[in-house]
Amino acid sequence: MLQSIAVAMEIQQRLLPSTPPQSPGFDIQAMTLYSDETGGDYFDYLCSGANQKLCLVVGDVADHGLPSALLMASVRGMLRLRAAMPGALEEMVADVNRQYARDVEAEGRFMTLFMARIDMENQLIEWVRAGHDPAILYDVEKDSFTDLKGQGTALGISVDSIFTRQSLPIRTGQVICLFTDGIPETRNAQGILFGRERLCQAIRRHVAETAKTIILSILDAVAEFRGDQEQEDDLTLMVVKIIDI
């Protein structure tokens, strides 16, 4: 059993992108820390190519461990296949949800998802939020944070779920942060949540650093806040720095 778990852990790590896309004008990095050997958190980079668009995905299957890892791998395959075909973001998410909901109908295991597409030509970010924590857009010049909100239930709730696409203009100097709920919901010994405010403070404090350094600094802040408490959930972060657009 231990050997099988070790193999499953190795396979799942290989399912996550080993390197970020080399997209001119952007500094992109992502990282996942599982609370068990395997887990349900997922991130990916899709839709990159000559059309000057890049899709960013972060997802979280309910619970963690081997069952969640299996479902995460299933959704990853569906998303990669669907993203290779034409369609609006909301259509992609709806198609994946339709199949996923049928697969988990008996178990009722849902998955939250945040899918964003950066349109470099039109300097725009579009996104669909499927029950996931809103991503954060930090404008360095204005020193302001914007939550990328939107309507949409988690994947697997219903085959008929409807998803909506939101959009905002983007510009040089902004930072986009996608994450799973394991970050803001980390608790310290007093039961206090790390929260979105501390996450925003960490982004502001290290905004001049590279995307990788921002991620490591946030994870260090979470670990310091948690103290001796056990990591109860998977932690995933994706940071996109807009260097020149």
Q: What is the CATH number of the domain that holds 26?
A: 3.60.40.10
Segments forming the whole domain that contains residue 190: 2-242
Percentage of the chain exceeding pLDDT 90: 64
- Predicted confidence (pLDDT) per residue in 70-89, tens digit: 888 889 999 999 988 888 99
Q: Enter the pTM of the model.
A: 0.91
Distance (Å, rounded) from C-alpha 84 to C-alpha 97? 16
- Predicted confidence (pLDDT) per residue in 107-161, tens digit: 778 999 999 999 988 999 999 999 999 999 999 999 999 999 998 899 999 999 9
Q: Which of 3-7, 15-19, 143-147 has the highest mean pLDDT?
A: 143-147
How many structural domains does the chain have? 1
Which residues, in sequence order, are CB contacts of 85 under 8 Å at separation 6+?
A: none
Report, as an integer, the average pLDDT of 181-197: 95
